Structure 1
Amino acid sequence: MTEVLKNSWALLLGVMLLMVGNGLQGSLLGVRGGDAGFSAFSMSIVMAGYFAGFLLASRLTPGMIRRVGHVRVFAALGSFISAVLILYPAFPHPIVWTIERMVIGFCYCGVYVTAESWLNNASSNENRGQALSAYMIVQMVGIIAAQAMLLIPDSSGFLLFVIPSVLVSIAFAPILLSISPTPAFDTTRPMSLLELFHVSPLGMVGMFLLGGVFASQFGMAAVYGSEAGLSLAQISTFVAAFYVGALVTQYPLGWLSDRMDRRVLVMAVALVGGVAAALAVTLSGHFTVLLAAAFLIGGASNPLYSILIAHTNDFLGTDRMAAASAGLLFINGLGAIAGPLISGYAMQTMGPGGFFMLISALMLGLTGYAGWRMTRRAAPQADDIGAFAAVAPTGSMVAVEVAQEAVIDAQEAAEAEMIEAARAEAEAEDRLR
């Protein structure tokens, strides 16, 4: 890890500042939209715009990078992010905000693709997994830190939009001044969705459902807080609890997933998240319950993202893992667009509790589907189970492909160790003879 920090500290610092800006603008819009009288459904359209832009950029950014290079794409998209963040308070209208959120989502995806490409290029086979872990941690820390900034006094109404704009602008300085352009850029063509479904129905269905869960917590948690009448300090703490849970549980659950039938773990973890969300509906008057529910939901949904990718890999050869992950990311993006829209409609028709009702339904649906899939196919053999690599749902397809490379490297290293051990044992037996 020391080597990773030494080689990539500027990139990781820049990514953390970018995530502070991203986390703050998402929560801030949820609060300011409520103050401006926007309905929950109007805000859901605004929030869904981010994921629509993100999904679009995942298709277009690779071509942009090939045409003009990493540095130009990175700088151009960063400039757009900084500009849009300042424009939000100037035009407080749902339609304008939706367009701006789409631009923000597009630009952030492009920035992630570029940053993750640099990170991959700066990593070796030996430390790629550590680099990915550091990248995921700084992302989560950035989002958590952003929530504390909601409490900064802002009598003008513009300051809290200016701060993330400045942070994003500053974020590019250490990256662009310390990173050299990467080699030729390429991404894997995704596997067809039909083929992917045949390979791993649970992986595909689970990623779609998780897309809805993650997008709801990322985009609509602050809207829920505003609709439920929480104070600004409570909203800040509530949103942060999702990501604290993700940080705490990611690696313990990843460790478990390498040592048991992953479908059992998916079922158990999704059940915990679904029950936590259901309890939040019935006990919403207790803020401590809301915090515990947010912690458990975040602690369930974020690791499940990585576990489902690892589960899908269990049925694939290493040469097809990257293609499958690209398809999983696409289906997750579709779920992410639908999640805020359904959540906003549920909150509009059933009250703020509709936020947790949707999350509970999605998580319990995943629980039931995982249990049903266990009756349809035997668990993979222990020798076929690949290594777990933690991936944050906030990353782009490049982060997922880097995770796949880390898994492949780990598997190849393990196979090499087994071959070496067998050779040493054979030599020892020869000497005894």
Structure 2
Amino acid sequence: MTAVFFSTWPLLVGVLLLMVGNGMQSSLLGIRGGIEDFTTLQISLVMSSYFAGFLFGSKMVPDMIQRVGHVRVFAALGSIISAVLVCYPVMPDWLIWALMRVAIGFSFSGVYITAESWLNNTATNETRGQALSIYMIVQMLGIVTSQILLNVGDPAGFAIFVLPSVLVSIAFIPILLTVTQAPTFETTERLSFARLYEVSPLGVVGMFLAGGIFACMFGMAAVWGTVVGLSVAQISAFIAAMYVGGLVFQYPIGWMSDRMDRRALIGIVAAVGAVAMFITTFLPIAMWVLIPAAIVIGGVANPMYSLLIAHTNDHLTKEQMAGASAGLLLSNGLGAMAGPPIIGWMMDRIGQQGFFVFICALMVMIAAYAAYRTTQRTAPKPEDTGAFVVMAPTAAAVAVGQLMEEAGQDTAAEVEQL
């Protein structure tokens, strides 16, 4: 794995800085929105707009790359991101912010697709799985780091918004100057959404509900923290703990998923999350409560994303795996778009408890549907299932599709050895 890191470090450093910039801007907007007296519903629509842009990008950027090339698309989208990041504090209008969030979501989607294509092209068949796993870990580390940097400036000022813009601009230097050969970009045959649902109902429904949970983590957590009066340091610690939880619990849950019915494990993990969120609604707002709660949210939501993809993979042919990634990301993106407005409405209606109530409700739905699906067909034997691979909810279609294929290839290799 060390050799893989040293061969791909320029890309990984660039991705790390991109994630730091993206994580900072999301949390900053949640805090600054409260300072600007935006309503909870208004700022929730701003947060939702990012995921709308991300979905548009996943559909349109591949065609842009084929027309004008990776380098031009990469540079153009990077310029848009840097410009938008410094425009937020000078145009404090929630509707303008929503439009800018669409643009920045579109641009980040394109940047991730380009970076993942380059990473995929740089790695060999023997190292591709390791490279993509390191890529996922780097993404999560970038978000954790971004929350630490929230404390270096005043969110009511201008300078703190310049920092993520600078980081994003710097992120392109190692990528564009080190990678000399642009990768070939191949579109995969897509699996229809109806066919994907027929193959794996739990995968499609679960990804939709998990998208709503992820939107809370990536956008609405800072909004909730501002509403309840947390300091910037407390908000940053709360959000960082979510991703630390994801890093810590990915591998233990992944180990279990390769040894039992994944539907049962999905139900168990979701039920644990639901119970934890239900209890949290009745506890005082204090850091000794919030940090463990955040670790549980992250420890459940991040592995849940990987579990659902692994479960779906178990029912696909090798040729369908990459194409299915687009449908799974569409389902997840639609859930992420719907999540912030709903949780914003709930917080307006029932108060700050709406944040944990919403997450609890989604967890209950996932657990209940997973339990139902266990009664509908027999689970494949563990030795016949694909390998669990670490996937961050921030990944684009290239990485998800490639990791799905890698998992299928690993299983095929194990079968050949038997």
TM-score (ref. length: structure 1): 0.94
Q: Distance in 1 between matches of 2:137 and 2:383?
A: 30
For residues 54-111 of structure 1, what are the alpha-carbon distances to aligned partners after superposition, in whole Å with 9 as ceiling and x for unaligned? 0000000000000011111111100110000000000001001001111110000000
Letter in 2 for 1:53: G
Note closer, same or farther for the CA distance 1:8–1:92 as it changes in structure 2 (3 Å cut).
same
Question: Does 2:215 correspond to 1:215?
Answer: yes
User: What corresponds to 1:77 in structure 2?
Assistant: 77
User: What corresponds to 2:253 in structure 1?
Assistant: 253
User: What corresponds to 1:35 in structure 2?
Assistant: 35
Which is greater in Rg? 1
Question: Does 2:168 correspond to 1:140?
Answer: no
User: What corresponds to 1:101 in structure 2?
Assistant: 101
Range with bigger deviation, 13-22 or 378-387: 378-387
User: What corresponds to 1:374 in structure 2?
Assistant: 374
* Secondary structure, counterpart of 2:30 in structure 1: helix
Range with bigger deviation, 312-321 or 201-210: 312-321
For residues 300-334 of structure 1, what are the alpha-carbon distances to aligned partners after superposition, in whole Å with 9 as ceiling and x for unaligned? 01111111111111112111111222211111111
Range with bigger deviation, 364-373 or 147-156: 147-156
User: What corresponds to 1:61 in structure 2?
Assistant: 61
For residues 155-212 of structure 1, what are the alpha-carbon distances to aligned partners after superposition, in whole Å with 9 as ceiling and x for unaligned? 8701110000000000000010011233431232432222111111111110000011
User: What corresponds to 2:240 in structure 1?
Assistant: 240
User: What corresponds to 1:268 in structure 2?
Assistant: 268
Task: Verify the 8 A CA contact 2:136 2:392 in the aligned structure 1.
Answer: yes
Task: Verify the 8 A CA contact 2:324 2:401 in the aligned structure 1.
Answer: no
User: What corresponds to 2:168 in structure 1?
Assistant: 168
Q: Distance in 1 between matches of 2:218 and 2:258?
A: 28
Question: Does 2:357 correspond to 1:318?
Answer: no
User: What corresponds to 1:51 in structure 2?
Assistant: 51
Note closer, same or farther for the CA distance 1:183–1:150 as it changes in structure 2 (3 Å cut).
closer
Superposed displacement of residue 257, structure 1: 0.6
Task: Verify the 8 A CA contact 1:243 1:298 in the aligned structure 2.
Answer: yes
Task: Verify the 8 A CA contact 2:347 2:355 in the aligned structure 1.
Answer: yes
Superposed displacement of residue 282, structure 1: 1.2
Question: Does 2:230 correspond to 1:230?
Answer: yes
Letter in 1 for 2:225: G
User: What corresponds to 1:345 in structure 2?
Assistant: 345
Identity score, percent: 57
Letter in 2 for 1:104: I
User: What corresponds to 2:16 in structure 1?
Assistant: 16
Question: Does 2:360 correspond to 1:360?
Answer: yes
User: What corresponds to 1:407 in structure 2?
Assistant: 407
Superposed displacement of residue 415, structure 1: 3.1
Range with bigger deviation, 210-219 or 285-294: 285-294
Q: Distance in 1 between matches of 2:246 and 2:135?
A: 14
Note closer, same or farther for the CA distance 1:375–1:11 as it changes in structure 2 (3 Å cut).
same
Superposed displacement of residue 42, structure 1: 0.4
User: What corresponds to 1:87 in structure 2?
Assistant: 87
Structure 2: which 5+ residue stretches go unaligned? none
User: What corresponds to 2:296 in structure 1?
Assistant: 296
Letter in 2 for 1:400: V
Superposed displacement of residue 399, structure 1: 0.9
Letter in 1 for 2:194: L
Question: Does 2:8 correspond to 1:5?
Answer: no
Note closer, same or farther for the CA distance 1:65–1:181 as it changes in structure 2 (3 Å cut).
farther
User: What corresponds to 1:124 in structure 2?
Assistant: 124
Q: Distance in 1 between matches of 2:266 and 2:46?
A: 31
Q: Distance in 2 between matches of 1:284 and 1:68?
A: 55
Note closer, same or farther for the CA distance 1:409–1:154 as it changes in structure 2 (3 Å cut).
same
Q: Distance in 2 between matches of 1:155 and 1:269?
A: 36
Note closer, same or farther for the CA distance 1:52–1:156 as it changes in structure 2 (3 Å cut).
closer
Moved over 4 A (4+): none
Task: Verify the 8 A CA contact 2:250 2:302 in the aligned structure 1.
Answer: yes
Q: Distance in 2 between matches of 1:308 and 1:382?
A: 15
Superposed displacement of residue 383, structure 1: 3.9
Task: Verify the 8 A CA contact 1:222 1:239 in the aligned structure 2.
Answer: yes
Range with bigger deviation, 277-286 or 227-236: 277-286
Q: Distance in 2 between matches of 1:77 and 1:64?
A: 11
Note closer, same or farther for the CA distance 1:212–1:275 as it changes in structure 2 (3 Å cut).
same
Aligned length, in residue pairs:
418
Task: Verify the 8 A CA contact 2:35 2:156 in the aligned structure 1.
Answer: no
Note closer, same or farther for the CA distance 1:39–1:182 as it changes in structure 2 (3 Å cut).
same
Task: Verify the 8 A CA contact 1:284 1:290 in the aligned structure 2.
Answer: no
Q: Distance in 2 between matches of 1:313 and 1:144?
A: 29
Range with bigger deviation, 272-281 or 87-96: 272-281
* Secondary structure, counterpart of 2:133 in structure 1: helix
Range with bigger deviation, 398-407 or 112-121: 398-407
RMSD (Å) for aligned C-alpha atoms = 1.2
Note closer, same or farther for the CA distance 1:382–1:285 as it changes in structure 2 (3 Å cut).
closer
Note closer, same or farther for the CA distance 1:122–1:271 as it changes in structure 2 (3 Å cut).
same
Range with bigger deviation, 402-411 or 63-72: 402-411
Task: Verify the 8 A CA contact 1:187 1:398 in the aligned structure 2.
Answer: no
For residues 326-364 of structure 1, what are the alpha-carbon distances to aligned partners after superposition, in whole Å with 9 as ceiling and x for unaligned? 211111111110011111111111111111111110011
Q: Distance in 1 between matches of 2:91 and 2:193?
A: 39
Q: Distance in 1 between matches of 2:190 and 2:339?
A: 23
User: What corresponds to 1:430 in structure 2?
Assistant: none
Superposed displacement of residue 299, structure 1: 0.7
Letter in 2 for 1:220: M
Q: Distance in 1 between matches of 2:291 and 2:138?
A: 22
